[in-house]
Amino acid sequence: MTAITTSKSIPQVNKPRLRLSSRWLIHVTLFILAIIWLTPSVGLLITSFRPREAIASSGWWTAFSPARFTFENYALVLNAQGMGDSFLNSFKITLPSTFLPLFLASIAAYALAWVRFRGRNVLQLLILALLVVPIQTTLVPVLQFFNQFRLTGTYIGIWIAHTAYGMPFSIFLLTNFFSSLPRELLESAKIDGANEWVIFARIVIPLSVPALASLAIFQFMWVWNDLLIALIFMSDPATQPVTVRIQALLGTYATEWHIMSAAAFISMSVPLLVFFALQRYFVTGLTAGAVKS
């Protein structure tokens, strides 16, 4: 009689070793990708501290043999064509343009997620459709509208513009997160006599800090790095942000790499600080509410 081969005779793969090797491969791949992405930023940082003659004679990777660094590049940038004032203008534009969408979108998202009213689904579809509308197609009519009310060139005007352009994505992100909150928690609050505003302020907002932090990172980076909207709506050099000033510096200091590298790193340093300060909320805010049980 032919012996029947059982599952025990089949060689088994060493699962712990397989998992360890797969994790090692993932870590090595991510490390290589991180090096690739960080190399330009590291090169820009090193170049921004090198003297002009050193930049002209050798690459940034030779900066430590011998080491020659200076802070004069940053001093020149902050004193060049009102660069220091434009740096402050960027904060005046970015901070209100970040907090206004957070506040308005959180209210709208709570209503779409938990308040039942007529036309709610249609409104959600309209907001979703606005995500695919290119901003460039709206610049001319919005500019004409702002000219009628004398909002062009004012901080209020650009706050309104950035808030309006950021609202569809903000509402979409927060609606998904608010919808994932436990229904029993909100219903128990209503049973205890809490109205919608109390539930929103004391329950929903404290539980939604990761999503709000993620949205703040997105909005802050988008507004801070914006050039097109600031170039169109802020024509006065006294109120222009740092991105417009850097673009203007290209015409004067296009070949002055020590100045341009310092200016570029000043512009990107603030978004980097904001991201690293809030990065622990970033992944949590993006993934929460993405998949519902």
Please check whether residue 292 lies inside any domain of the structure: no
175 plus 224 within the same structural domain: yes
**What's 281's domain CATH number?**
1.10.3720.10
- Same domain for 88 and 212? yes
Tell me: do 133 and 40 sit in the same domain. Answer: no
Give the chain's domain count: 2
Q: What percent of the chain has pLDDT over 90?
A: 41
* 0.85 surpassed by pTM: no
Same-domain pairing of 146 and 274: yes
The three-state DSSP-derived secondary structure of the chain is CCCCCCHHHCCCCCHHHHHHHHHHHHHHHHHHHHHHHHHHHHHHHHHHCCCHHHHHHCCHHHCECCECCCCHHHHHHHHCCCHHHHHHHHHHHHHHHHHHHHHHHHHHHHHHHHCCCCCHHHHHHHHHHHCCCCHHHHHHHHHHHHHHCCCCCCHHHHHHHHHHHHHHHHHHHHHHHHHCCCHHHHHHHHHCCCCHHHHHHHHHHHHCHHHHHHHHHHHHHHHHCCCHHHHHHCCCHHHCCHHHHHHHHHHHCCCCHHHHHHHHHHHHHHHHHHHHHHHHHHHHHHHCCCCCC
Domain that holds residue 231: 72-287
Whether 160 and 260 share a structural domain: yes
Mind listing the pLDDT tens digit for each residue in 18-35?
A: 676 778 888 889 899 999
Q: Are 158 and 27 in a shared domain?
A: no
Task: Encode pLDDT of 172-214 as tens digits.
Answer: 999 999 998 999 999 999 898 889 999 999 999 999 988 898 8
Q: Are residues 177 and 281 in the same domain?
A: yes
Q: Do both 162 and 126 map to the same domain?
A: yes
Residue 57 lies in a domain: yes
